[in-house]
Homo-oligomer: A and B are copies of this chain.
């Protein structure tokens, strides 16, 4: 059985290719009679029109590419993992292929994926704040894009973000409500807006309780598990002013901090409580299971796809901020009351 074309179908149904095309695309202009004849043949032969000819005709690839950076791929960061699921699920509704690509770095210079160089993608989804130079390259090619999980608050592109200030506020407030008064913070600062949001949320929550915060309680140099470990070390160094709880702005940081706390002979949560942020897969596996603020990553992914499709269709697409204050109680926080 060789590949069928619209012509073959037309011949079999005794009509013109035009008629078949009309039927396939649910267009008016065919009599009910021919429509039925065509439909029958299509059914019988299980005919599917060739996508490649549509691609050529419409100058569309029906591809949407997911662009992943070295350090923020679903493969390096479990966070993006979940987002990808949302994108994938939603893409089914619109008939786009989800193509995985990554940005390689050739001594410091970003190399765009082939699929973008060749204009072989109808739209791009970036994970995490993406350098303007990279975005410019995509803009120059007139390819619509959406950035998922941005922190910067500039609004000159379409984004899907979480409100991390709210997350930080919620986490810190929760600790206060559990009777904690001495609450430290471990955070990253390589994305300035993220840092700002987290610290603002954190201090706002503490403002209400009027607790003074020694400077070494705010550690902003976390980048991964190891550096977060170091941050925790810096906090524990001051034995005279130990906190009773730490909010870590990232579950990965929380995991590093927990290791450090345990290695120093303290117990979680009886000595020191820990709250994370993100709710990555790992968090329920660590010891003790981590209480954390969940970010609805699946939803972020599915919204991102939705926005992107809208942009591809030439519609406007406002940025979106998703719910960011869902607390998942597990076992890493002690109730002091």
> Complex Cα distance A297/B98, Å?
22
Residue A118 at the B interface, CB < 8 A? yes
Partner of A285, one of B48, B95, B117, B255: B255
Contact with B along A1-38 (1 / 0, CB 8 A): 00100000000000000000000000000000000000
Task: Give the nearest-CB partner of A81 in chain B.
Answer: B75
- Which of A82-90, A169-177, A230-238 faces chain B? A82-90
Given A48-B118, A282-B285, CB of A98 within 8 Å of CB of B99: yes
> Complex Cα distance A85/B100, Å?
10
> Complex Cα distance A16/B102, Å?
36
Of residues 45 to 81 in A, which have CB atoms within 8 Å of B's CB atoms? 48, 50-53, 55-56, 59-61, 63, 74-75, 78, 81
- Asked if A100 and B102 sit within 8 Å, CB to CB, the answer is no
How far does the Cβ of A111 sit from chain B's closest Cβ, in whole Å?
Answer: 10
User: Inside 8 A of A52's CB, which chain B residues have their CB?
Assistant: 52, 55-56, 59-61
Residue A189 at the B interface, CB < 8 A? no
Residue A223 at the B interface, CB < 8 A? no
How far does the Cβ of A44 sit from chain B's closest Cβ, in whole Å?
Answer: 16
Number of A positions contacting B (CB below 8 A): 40
Task: Give the nearest-CB partner of A102 in chain B.
Answer: B88
Given A48-B119, A75-B85, A286-B285, CB of A3 within 8 Å of CB of B59: yes
Contact with B along A122-163 (1 / 0, CB 8 A): 000000000000000000000000000000000000000000
User: Inside 8 A of A119's CB, which chain B residues have their CB?
Assistant: 3, 48, 50
Residue A115 at the B interface, CB < 8 A? yes
Residue A207 at the B interface, CB < 8 A? no
> Complex Cα distance A222/B117, Å?
47
- Asked if A118 and B88 sit within 8 Å, CB to CB, the answer is no
Residue A296 at the B interface, CB < 8 A? no
How far does the Cβ of A245 sit from chain B's closest Cβ, in whole Å?
Answer: 21
> Complex Cα distance A115/B64, Å?
14
Task: Give the nearest-CB partner of A62 in chain B.
Answer: B120
> Complex Cα distance A233/B85, Å?
34
User: Inside 8 A of A81's CB, which chain B residues have their CB?
Assistant: 74-75, 81
Given contacts A52-B60, A97-B97, A97-B120, 12 further A-B contacts (CB under 8 A): A3-B59, A51-B120, A52-B61, A63-B97, A75-B84, A78-B281, A81-B81, A84-B100, A88-B101, A99-B99, A255-B285, A286-B287
Nearest first, the 5 closest Cβ-Cβ pairs linking A and B are A52-B55, A52-B56, A97-B99, A287-B287, A56-B56
